[in-house]
Amino acid sequence: MGKLFGTDGIRGKANIYPMDAETALTVGRAFTLFLKNKVDKPQIIIGMDTRISGQMIAASVAAGVCSVGGDVILTGILPTPAVARLTISLNADAGIVISASHNTFFDNGIKLFLSDGTKLSDKQEAAIEEMVFNKNFEAECSSIQETGIIQYQAGPDVEYKEFLKKAIGSDFNLDGMKVVLDCSNGAASAIAPDLFREFGADVHSIFDTPDGRNINHQCGSQHPEVLSAVVKEKHADIGLAFDGDADRLIAVDERGQILTGDQLVVIGAKFLKDNGKLINNTVATTIMSNLGLSEALEKMGIQHKVSGVGDRKVMQEMLSAGAVLGGEDSGHIIYLNEHTTGDGIFAGLKLLAAINSEKKPLSELKKIMTVYPQVLINVDIKKKIDVNDVPEIKNKINTIEKNLGKRGRVLVRYSGTQPVCRIMVEGPTIEETQKYCQQIADCVKNNIG
């Protein structure tokens, strides 16, 4: 893991290194010079989610781009997948999104996209990181008399919505469907409700009034409990929850039951296979996916490829296997035939297409997968130390793995974007799973917390 880049770009507390204005400016310079290896005057699109620090960081990145001769197109507030798509449609050389995804407002981040709307490889991130830390930009800046310019893109949301309409198909409609949307007070707030209404749905939207500070606060894909209650109250057919930059989706069925990203991937896999569109009969997910996902795919005769954590890793595995569907339990879902990155809004449309095709409610469709009890506990840590080098933690994990045997599994890993250790345990019962996960979490906290 690099000093700057995590599993999904650069992330940290806003106005504090590495998410301060000075570092953002340097990242803008480094990324632009990286692009200059192929193009003389790079054109870079910059969008952001709704958090209050977005304008500060976007302005700093834009200044960095212009200072070394690149041009900038600012989109304002726009979902991450929309920026990826706009990068392609405008023939830009790259895209940048200022967002900390599902984190609360005091965090922010920088996500980088190439001209084809895909995220950077580890090698490419390492090259940019090397420049950020070691390059003297004075020569490049002083030699450029005609600095780059900043333009503003008119109606980027319109272009994005038209793309989604084309991608989902002209015969798609939601007539008679009652849908509740949780926009997480984020980038989906001004787009998703109108789009679903244009498809004919009776839409009730919640958490759609961002104020810069309420993004992801007790709402969205990380906190769908309110959505669940509203779906039952409104007698809706489905509830869809996005995260702050709208690249994740978590769904709620008509009974108010919450579905995970894994369940949505399995439903999507069956839908594609039934329609002859699951190319290479393969689905890719991460090591965090529930054991029930593997079982469901096996029963359907679908190959399952497993990647490291993060949608970039899923994408790499998809490309390697020639798969067109992949995702994470957290709600990143990639339909590669239509899109280049995870898109919560589009994944929601595909889920509704599957419901329309099967003519069954979501509570029935989800029965295709048995979800094994899974508990995830996050522990704040002081330093990321290999857990195998801490005897107490290693012994605790080994003991619990022995107790579980083939009835479950343990996964302990560090967050790629935060100083957090994530402990995940699957087991035969929720009580046993919770007990074992808490034991490991306590051990981690006592030794490195």
Give me the active site residues, please: 101
Axis-axis angle for helices 391-404, 430-448 (nearest 10): 170
Other CB atoms within 10 Å distance of the CB of residue 162: 12
Using only C-alpha atoms, what is the Rg of the chain?
A: 22
Other CB atoms within 10 Å distance of the CB of residue 330: 24
Cis upstream peptide for 361 (omega within 30°): no
Q: Two tokens at 275?
A: 């329609």
Other CB atoms within 10 Å distance of the CB of residue 152: 10
Other CB atoms within 10 Å distance of the CB of residue 250: 28
Kindly state the DSSP code that residue 119 receives in the 8-state scheme: B
By C-alpha distance, which of 249, 248, 242, 251 is closest to 220?
A: 242
- 380: enclosing H helix or E strand: strand 374-380
The dihedral built from the CA positions of residue 363, 364, 368 and 373, taken in this order, carries a sign that is positive
CA–CA dist 410, 276 (Å, integer): 36
Question: What is the residue whose two structure tokens read 């280049």?
Answer: 340
Those residues whose C-beta lies under 8 Å from the C-beta of residue 71, and which sit 6 or more positions away, are: 41, 42, 43, 44, 65, 148, 149, 150, 151
- 113: enclosing H helix or E strand: strand 107-114
Q: Two tokens at 371?
A: 């979800």
Axis-axis angle for helices 344-358, 261-274 (nearest 10): 50
Give the sheet arrangement for strand 43-48, strand by strand: 5-6, 9-13, 107-114, 94-98, 43-48, 71-77, 150-152
Pairing of strands 238-242, 178-182: parallel
Those residues whose C-beta lies under 8 Å from the C-beta of residue 145, and which sit 6 or more positions away, are: none
